[in-house]
Amino acid sequence: MNMRQEALARIKSVNLEPKLPHKKVSSYFGENTFNLETMQKHISKSTFEAFKRWMSEGKLITLEQANEIANAMKDWAISKGATYYTHWFQPMTGLTAEKHDSFISITGPGKVIEKFSGSKLIQGEPDASSFPSGGIRATFEARGYTAWDPSSPAFIIESKLGNTLCIPTIFISYNGEALDKKLPLLRSDEALSKAASGLLKLFGYKDVKKVFSTCGPEQEYFLIDKNYYNLRQDLLLTGRTLVGAPSPKGQQLEDQYFGTIKERVINFMFEVAEEAYKLGIPVMTRHNEVAPHQYEFAPIFEESNIAADHNQLLMELMKKIALRHNLVCLLHEKPFAGINGSGKHLNWSLADDKGNNLLNPGDTPEGNLQFLAVLAAVLRAVYIHSDLLRASVAMAGNEHRLGANEAPPAIISVFVGDQLNDILDTIEKGAKTKVSKKDIIDLGITRLPKFNKDTTDRNRTSPFAFTGNKFEFRAVGSSQNISTPIAVLNTIIAESLDYVAEKIKKETKGKDFHSAVLRVIAQIVKETKDVRFEGNNYAPEWLKEAKKRGLPNVASTCEALKALIKPSNVALFEKYKVFSKEEVVARYHIWVHTYNTILEIEANTLNEMVNASVVPAGYDYERLLADNLNDLSDLKKSAALKVDTAAFNDLKEHLAEVAAKIYYVRHNTKRMVKLLEKAEKLHHEERGKLYFEELKPLMEHIRKHVDQLECVVSDEHWDLPKYREMLFIK
């Protein structure tokens, strides 16, 4: 038995202790979070009121009040078994980071007490020199600070031998520049709030204090058995399979989507949900996805900042809990070639502090008009800034989906559905003539009083689709931290809402408000028409059509990232105070660098796999064939064995074929190593270009030959777990 076959023999479900009796979710939801309710129970009324004012009006609390909260948080955490605390943050690696400190404080020789102060709660100072800063913070000035983000509740992470209090924080440099993904998101929400409240005022909603974006990220993932995972260096080191012949049965039969969930998987899902609920993460649905062994979790939507934290936590929980079930959770965008990859559909909308969804079509003409104005702003934002949206999802993993042979395409267009499409067309035409209040009614605006959510047709191929009362940005990668796409979305929408508000103000002067709004909407609808596409985004005709319309189609990650440093985009970020020029330029360089590093790791892994696993297996099989051939030839002579010449030649041909395939694999792998050497001398921008244009196709080429070899080499000699095994475990 080879290693792979041994792994197969070892596969079994883990024995789980039944958890009985089951508790009602409502009885423990959020029990491991220091949420408002818990805080209120543990601190004085005046401090609690001050904290709430801080959250709603931005009026800072005093140091004494911070001390009181810190102390309460510590007591609560200790009562929950925590001995350590950590400032939890999201550096630009896209992961989360923690530096743990104990609560203990020395009070005398050999004596300690548990202590936690307001200043420690508010600020931490991890040694920041090892986190990417893109040159913002030279390594010799290692200072970076974490600052408490009170809008996201502190939480407790449990592990078998102890618990840790985690405090969500932002991560900044000595001079206050953002070194993380969260601060720009918080800033973008502020910009959005200002712009949206301004527009709402024009519609008579004068007492709106705050508008924020809401978000519900649908998380796709794969699960495979841990025994297989451990035998695949590519999965271990890069998160995706660099070689692997397709399984004869893939997703052709479409028998997986929404299918019955296997018991082993459902046990995993139950445990994830339970842990998520304790942390206040409202996981709502779970189901099988299109590809074999692909699944999805979707939460109930929340304020974007919280949703982003929760998504990071959920991904970590999924990875951790999978291991307990002898499974590995793959969050990579394209773990397996030839079957669907994974994305993170980002459901996004705008809400005000009164609980209204600004993208709810509503059931009054006024409501509809406000909705249509916001809708127009979104259309305009996506039309003008599609390059930024594309950049916000540009990463090595996602490059296998966007613009490659996977949905959705790299062309950013908007789908609104038949009903809205008709309305927009009518407005566009109607607005050419003079519109009076009566005409508005005639235009059919009031005829959509009950815009039914379910009437938005499904268009699964659109990268940016209106789905009833929210937009769904589907180009986001499954492993991505959603903060950046949200921050970009918020910023471009803020700019567009300001534009619409300004236009309306100008148009209204002395004239009827309704007709003025309609005229503005009509104008925008006309100008942004090219970004609307209702058809099949995967069809080849769309590529041609999009080109004719002048919509960008950028397949390369590094090329797409360039949008970040385009002067007009830098100015936009600066105007809305989301990124300073320095911050955004730093991000651009970090992300190009990350792309290169990922490709280098992949290429080096492929090199090693080819040399240490693939080629030796090929040689073993080659020897088997050669021995066979020799034996036959000897027997022909010595024992006058009658072998059909055709059969004899067939064996010879097969041997030659295998030898040739091994040669191709080795030959191209050597070329790949040369290419990597050449790349070393290049600046990282040039390097990224070379990797996209030459390294990736070369790796694909190597893979093609390896996969052909896999299909002929005897099963016994092939050590790497195969697609048909990894994707169809019981």
Residues binding ligand ADP (CB under 6 A) = 214-216, 218, 298-301, 347-349, 357, 467, 469-470
- Minimum Å distance from CB 298 to Mg ion? 7
- Minimum Å distance from CB 458 to ligand ADP? 8
167 three-state secondary structure: strand
d(CA 238, CA 597) in angstroms, rounded, equals: 11
Residue 280 binding result from Mg ion, ligand ADP, none, given CB thresholds of 5 to 8 Å by partner type:
none
- Tell me how far apart the terminal alpha carbons of the chain are, to the nearest angstrom: 21
Which one, 357 or 426, has the nearer CB to ligand ADP? Answer: 357
Q: What character string, x for contact with Mg ion (CB under 5 A) and - otherwise, covers 491-510?
A: --------------------
- Minimum Å distance from CB 378 to ligand ADP? 13
d(CA 473, CA 437) in angstroms, rounded, equals: 35
Which one, 459 or 483, has the nearer CB to Mg ion? Answer: 459
d(CA 262, CA 708) in angstroms, rounded, equals: 32
Which one, 233 or 419, has the nearer CB to ligand ADP? Answer: 419
- Minimum Å distance from CB 534 to ligand ADP? 17
d(CA 487, CA 181) in angstroms, rounded, equals: 9
Bridge partners of residue 343, in order along the sequence = 477
Residue 729 binding result from Mg ion, ligand ADP, none, given CB thresholds of 5 to 8 Å by partner type:
none
- Minimum Å distance from CB 232 to Mg ion? 30
Q: In this structure, which amino acid lies at residue 465?
A: A
Which residue's Cβ has the minimum distance to ligand ADP? Answer: 216
- Minimum Å distance from CB 460 to Mg ion? 8
Residue 132 binding result from Mg ion, ligand ADP, none, given CB thresholds of 5 to 8 Å by partner type:
none
Do β-strands 82-89 and 162-173 pair in parallel, antiparallel, or remain unpaired?
parallel
Site for Mg ion in 39-78 (CB under 5 A): none
Pair of tokens at residue 238:
């890069």
d(CA 82, CA 103) in angstroms, rounded, equals: 9
Residues 361, 451: contact at Cβ < 8 Å? yes
Which one, 345 or 380, has the nearer CB to Mg ion? Answer: 345
Q: Which stretch binds Mg ion (CB under 5 A): 129-137, 325-333, 343-351, 492-500?
A: 343-351
DSSP secondary structure of 274-297: HHHHHTT--EEEEEE-SSTTEEEE
- Minimum Å distance from CB 350 to ligand ADP? 8
Which one, 171 or 301, has the nearer CB to ligand ADP? Answer: 301
- Minimum Å distance from CB 99 to ligand ADP? 32
Residue 298 binding result from ligand ADP, Mg ion, none, given CB thresholds of 5 to 8 Å by partner type:
ligand ADP
Which one, 456 or 596, has the nearer CB to Mg ion? Answer: 456
Which one, 450 or 453, has the nearer CB to ligand ADP? Answer: 453
Identify the residue among 345, 380, 385, 722 touching Mg ion (CB under 5 A).
345
| C-alpha to C-alpha distances, 283 to 29, 218, 315, 320, 534, nearest whole angstrom | 11, 10, 12, 17, 31
Which one, 454 or 677, has the nearer CB to ligand ADP? Answer: 454
Q: Which residue has the tokens 């020799």?
A: 630
Residue 357 binding result from Mg ion, ligand ADP, none, given CB thresholds of 5 to 8 Å by partner type:
ligand ADP
Which one, 307 or 572, has the nearer CB to ligand ADP? Answer: 307
Residues 210, 311: contact at Cβ < 8 Å? no
- Minimum Å distance from CB 467 to ligand ADP? 5
- Minimum Å distance from CB 311 to ligand ADP? 10
- Minimum Å distance from CB 360 to Mg ion? 18
Residue 348 binding result from Mg ion, ligand ADP, none, given CB thresholds of 5 to 8 Å by partner type:
ligand ADP
Which one, 173 or 462, has the nearer CB to ligand ADP? Answer: 462
347 three-state secondary structure: strand
CB atoms within 10 A of CB 594: 19
Which one, 266 or 300, has the nearer CB to ligand ADP? Answer: 300
d(CA 254, CA 256) in angstroms, rounded, equals: 6
- Minimum Å distance from CB 279 to ligand ADP? 17
Residue 301 binding result from ligand ADP, Mg ion, none, given CB thresholds of 5 to 8 Å by partner type:
ligand ADP
Task: Report the sign of the C-alpha dihedral through residues 599, 601, 604, 607, in that order.
Answer: negative
Residue 216 binding result from Mg ion, ligand ADP, none, given CB thresholds of 5 to 8 Å by partner type:
ligand ADP
- Minimum Å distance from CB 472 to Mg ion? 5
40 three-state secondary structure: helix
Which one, 164 or 461, has the nearer CB to ligand ADP? Answer: 461
Residue 300 binding result from ligand ADP, Mg ion, none, given CB thresholds of 5 to 8 Å by partner type:
ligand ADP
d(CA 605, CA 236) in angstroms, rounded, equals: 10
Q: Which residue has the tokens 């959020």?
A: 30
Residue 193 binding result from Mg ion, ligand ADP, none, given CB thresholds of 5 to 8 Å by partner type:
none
Residue 128 binding result from Mg ion, ligand ADP, none, given CB thresholds of 5 to 8 Å by partner type:
none
Q: Which stretch binds Mg ion (CB under 5 A): 126-134, 339-347, 401-409, 518-526?
A: 339-347
**For residue 158, which phi and psi values (nearest 5 degrees)?**
-95, 140
Torsion angle in degrees (nearest 10) through CA of 405, 407, 410, 416: 150
- Minimum Å distance from CB 345 to Mg ion? 4
Report the candidate in 73, 152, 82 with the shortest Cα–Cα distance to residue 117: 73
Pair of tokens at residue 629:
């051939």
On the CB side of 518, CA atoms within 13 Å amount to 30
Which one, 74 or 310, has the nearer CB to ligand ADP? Answer: 310
| C-alpha to C-alpha distances, 491 to 195, 359, 587, nearest whole angstrom | 10, 17, 16
Report the candidate in 300, 229, 289, 219 with the shortest Cα–Cα distance to residue 261: 289
Residue 668 binding result from Mg ion, ligand ADP, none, given CB thresholds of 5 to 8 Å by partner type:
none
d(CA 265, CA 454) in angstroms, rounded, equals: 31
Residue 30 binding result from ligand ADP, Mg ion, none, given CB thresholds of 5 to 8 Å by partner type:
none
- Minimum Å distance from CB 359 to ligand ADP? 7
Pair of tokens at residue 301:
């939507």
Which one, 177 or 302, has the nearer CB to ligand ADP? Answer: 302
On the CB side of 410, CA atoms within 13 Å amount to 26
Q: Which stretch binds Mg ion (CB under 5 A): 19-27, 168-176, 341-349, 454-462?
A: 341-349
d(CA 440, CA 427) in angstroms, rounded, equals: 9
d(CA 94, CA 591) in angstroms, rounded, equals: 10
Q: Which stretch binds Mg ion (CB under 5 A): 315-323, 342-350, 484-492, 526-534?
A: 342-350
Which one, 298 or 518, has the nearer CB to ligand ADP? Answer: 298
Cβ-proximal residues to 273 (8 Å cutoff; 6+ apart), any chain: 283, 286
Which one, 342 or 347, has the nearer CB to ligand ADP? Answer: 347
In which element (H, E) is residue 238 found? helix 233-238
Which residue's Cβ has the minimum distance to Mg ion? Answer: 345
Residue 222 binding result from Mg ion, ligand ADP, none, given CB thresholds of 5 to 8 Å by partner type:
none
Q: Which residue has the tokens 């050449």?
A: 678
| C-alpha to C-alpha distances, 68 to 43, 73, 88, 105, nearest whole angstrom | 7, 9, 21, 17
Site for Mg ion in 154-173 (CB under 5 A): none
- Minimum Å distance from CB 304 to ligand ADP? 9
Q: In this structure, which amino acid lies at residue 49?
A: E
- Minimum Å distance from CB 474 to Mg ion? 8
Kindly provide the residue ranges of all beta strands, DSSP E only, lying in 198-338, ordered along the sequence.
211-225, 283-288, 294-299, 302-303, 327-330
Which one, 215 or 276, has the nearer CB to ligand ADP? Answer: 215
Residues interacting with Mg ion, by CB under 5 A?
A: 345
